Chains A and B, each alone.
Chain A
Amino acid sequence: MAAVQQTVDTVKTLDVDAYKYGFSTQIESDKAPRGLNEDIVRFISARKNEPDWLTQWRLDAFRRWLTMEEPRWARVDYPKIDYQDLYYYSAPKGTAGPRTLADVDPELLRVYAKLGIPLSEQEALAGVQERRVAVDAVFDSVSVVTTFKEELAKAGVIFCPISEAVQTHPELVKKYLGSVVPATDNYFATLNAAVFSDGSFVYIPPGVRCPMELSTYFRINEQNTGQFERTLIIADAGSYVSYLEGCTAPKRDENQLHAAVVELIAHDDAEIKYSTVQNWYPGDSEGKGGIYNFVTKRGDCRGIRSKISWTQVETGSAITWKYPSCILRGDFSRGEFYSIAISNGYQQVDSGTKMLHLGNDTSSRVISKGISAGHSQNTYRGQVFAHRKALRARNFTNCDSLLIGNQCGAHTVPYIEAKNSTAQFEHEATTSKISDDQLFYCMQRGLEAEEATALIVNGFVRDVLQQLPMEFAVEAQKLIAISLEGSVG
Chain B
Amino acid sequence: MLEIENLHVSIAGKKILNGLTLTVEDGQVAAIMGPNGSGKSTLSYVVAGRADYEVEQGSIRLDGIDLLRKSAAERAALGLFLVFQYPLEIPGVATMTFLKAAINAQRRARGESDLPIPDFMKQVRAAAQKLDISQDMLKRPVNVGFSGGEKKRMEILQMALLEPRFAILDEMDSGLDIDALKTCAEGVNALRGKDRGLLVITHYQRLLDFISPDIVHVMSRGKIVKSGGPELALALEASGYAEYAEGAAA
Contact = CB atoms under 8 A, between A and B. Distances in A.
A436 interface: yes
Main secondary structure of the interface of A (DSSP, over half): helix
Interface string B136-158: 00000110000000000000001
Contacts of B89: 438
Interface stretch (A99-107, A388-396, A450-458): A450-458
Given A451-B105, A455-B90, A459-B92, A446 B51 contact: no
Interface residues of A, number: 28
Contacts of A448: 71, 73, 105
A485 interface: no
A445 interface: yes
Given A6-B73, A443-B73, A460 B92 contact: yes
Contacts of B141: 459
Interface in B92-123: 92-93, 97-98, 101-103, 105-106, 108-109
B148 to A, nearest CB: 16
Contacts of A444: 48-49, 72-73, 75-76, 81-82, 84
Given A447-B101, A452-B73, 6 more contacts: A2-B71, A6-B108, A438-B88, A438-B89, A440-B45, A444-B49
Interface in A420-472: 435-438, 440-449, 451-452, 455-456, 458-463
A444 B98 CA distance: 12
B105 A461 contact: no
Interface of B: 45, 48-52, 70-77, 81-82, 84, 87-93, 97-98, 101-103, 105-106, 108-109, 141-142, 158, 162
A9 interface: yes
Nearest to B74: A2
Contacts of B51: 436, 440
Nearest to B107: A446
A130 to B, nearest CB: 18
Given A444-B82, A446-B109, A458 B92 contact: yes
Q: Taking each of B52, B72, B75, B89, which has the highest tally of chain A beta carbons within 10 Å of its own beta carbon?
A: B72
Contact of B77 (A9, A435, A446): A446
B50 A447 contact: no
Contacts of A437: 88
A456 B90 contact: yes
A3 interface: yes
A446 B106 contact: yes
